[in-house]
Structure 1
Amino acid sequence: MKVLLIDDHPLILAALQSVILGLGDHVRVTAADSGRAAREALQNDPAHQLVLLDLQLGDADGFDLLVEFRTRYPGLPIVVISASDRTSDVIRAIDLGAMGFVPKRASNETLFEALQQVLSGGVYVPPMNMGDAQGWTVDAATAANVQQHALAAGYQTAPSLEELSLTPRQTDVLNLLLKGQPNKLIARELGLSVETVKDHVAAVLRALGVNSRTQAVIAVSQILRRQGGMVDAALAFR
């Protein structure tokens, strides 16, 4: 497996490389200390299978690079590694197509868990206060449940997967939604009309107490972590 590390701090690159190499003997690591170097690395070898991207680079904005790479290499998983752990940055990164977001203050074990989860097809986000993101709304019933199940660590969680009470078809739609598929592709894969898929997506969002697909991905990731850590989201619903 080929992994591209993008960070303009040599010490961070060295630390990341040590964690990445722990994924197995089959791992090959390429380091890039700038946006330009990262572009060249992917152009020279588009067979990279994972990218770890810092948001603050000397010559480029990490969010801009995220958009660029997701457009040029749509099948390439990208995990953001950032000194920021603001909820707004997490949501923006996931909304732009990142498969994970790991704060730099996280432990090596957390980073390792996050990378394994992403490589298994899941999405990793750090524990967050589910109510402090701009535009994040939670209905009254879910808010009451969140308060009841608040964790001692100081952040709040959504109901468990079982408590969502999704129908089998809604579960199918959620599995594909978590993979980033748009409504048209979901409809094609499940043999449904686009309007029916929209209805199922709306029902899933209501069950999660959120109001966007991005928030749904983050909410499910939070639930899976609370229920047992590294879990492939799609497998968890089978």
Structure 2
Amino acid sequence: MIRLLIADDHAIVSSGLLQLFSLSSDVCVVALATNGGQVIDSLRTTPCDLVLLDMSMPGISGIDLIGRIRVRAPALPILVLSMHNEALVVRRALKAGANGYMTKDCDPEALLLAVRKVAAGGRYLDPGLAEQMVFDTDSDQFKHPHEQLSNRELCIFRLFVSGMGVNQIADELAISNKTVSTHKARLMQKMGFQSNADMLRYGVDHNLGS
């Protein structure tokens, strides 16, 4: 039996996943988490065989959360299930320690296959993403200016583009307003933005809103 921890802050997604896995004879959901803190707490108290992880949740999330899981449980399989399908995000998630990556528009049977494969020690990449990355011949170069940003800078950039302000982002990521402002200043300098309008325009043009 595969003991599964589902980490997703969207109730409708978690509900659908619970229904899907309830129909499987070899997968059992042992914990649900809606933010990064709950994921870490669950790992302390509830043994599991795989973490099914959304990339965008309140508090610690995404690349940062994958890294923290790896520190606490180096061998625990992590399968990302995300709405983000950009090669940049996928590459960074895998580099941070994820064992697999799928998008939320995947077929339920494909998700079950991925869960079983990753829980057994394998790796799994959504076929559409795999094809995109294989033909991304310039993957080692910065194809777009935002690819030079750090993981945290890119996360904060996305949140600004999605319409959040400094205070909201600070609450979302559980960091100080000053830290958010510092990251914002650095990313604007790296990208050569002269104003918030420049930043938002670029983000919209490159579909970076979370």
Tell me what 1:9 maps to: 10
1:20 & 1:64 partners in 2: Cα distance?
A: 27
1:123 aligns with 2:123: yes
2:27 & 2:86 partners in 1: Cα distance?
A: 34
1:133 & 1:80 partners in 2: Cα distance?
A: 24
Q: Is the 8 A contact 2:99 2:122 kept in 1?
A: yes
Tell me what 2:104 maps to: 104
Q: Is the 8 A contact 1:7 1:34 kept in 2?
A: yes
Within 5 Å, which residues of 2 pair with 1:10-25? 10-24=11-25
TM-score scaled by length of structure 2: 0.59
Q: Structure 1 residues 120 and 43 mapped into 2: Cα distance closer, same or farther (>3 Å)?
A: closer
2:14 & 2:27 partners in 1: Cα distance?
A: 19
Letter in 2 for 1:116: R
What whole-Å deviation, never above 9, does each CA across 1:92-121 have from its counterpart, x for those lacking one? 111111111010111111111111221232
Q: Is the 8 A contact 2:18 2:29 kept in 1?
A: no
Letter in 1 for 2:118: V
What whole-Å deviation, never above 9, does each CA across 1:81-100 have from its counterpart, x for those lacking one? 10011111111111111111
Q: Structure 1 residues 80 and 43 mapped into 2: Cα distance closer, same or farther (>3 Å)?
A: same
Q: Percent identity?
A: 31
Within 5 Å, which residues of 2 pair with 1:123-142? 123-127=123-127, 128-129=131-132, 130-132=134-136, 134-136=138-140
2:97 & 2:33 partners in 1: Cα distance?
A: 21
Q: Structure 1 residues 82 and 28 mapped into 2: Cα distance closer, same or farther (>3 Å)?
A: closer
Q: How many residues align?
A: 136
TM-score scaled by length of structure 1: 0.53
Q: Is the 8 A contact 2:77 2:121 kept in 1?
A: no
- Consecutive unaligned residues of structure 1, counting only runs of 5 or more, are 138-238
Letter in 2 for 1:5: I
- Consecutive unaligned residues of structure 2, counting only runs of 5 or more, are 142-210
Q: Is the 8 A contact 2:33 2:39 kept in 1?
A: yes
2:54 & 2:90 partners in 1: Cα distance?
A: 13
1:133 & 1:3 partners in 2: Cα distance?
A: 35
Letter in 1 for 2:57: L
1:26 & 1:66 partners in 2: Cα distance?
A: 22
Q: Structure 1 residues 25 and 44 mapped into 2: Cα distance closer, same or farther (>3 Å)?
A: same
Q: Structure 1 residues 26 and 79 mapped into 2: Cα distance closer, same or farther (>3 Å)?
A: closer
Question: Cα RMSD between the aligned structures?
Answer: 1.9
1:70 aligns with 2:74: no
* 1:51 partner SS: strand
Q: Is the 8 A contact 2:62 2:93 kept in 1?
A: no
Letter in 2 for 1:97: G
Tell me what 2:168 maps to: none
Residue 136 of structure 1 and its aligned partner are, at CA, apart by 4.3
* 1:29 partner SS: strand
Q: Structure 1 residues 94 and 27 mapped into 2: Cα distance closer, same or farther (>3 Å)?
A: same
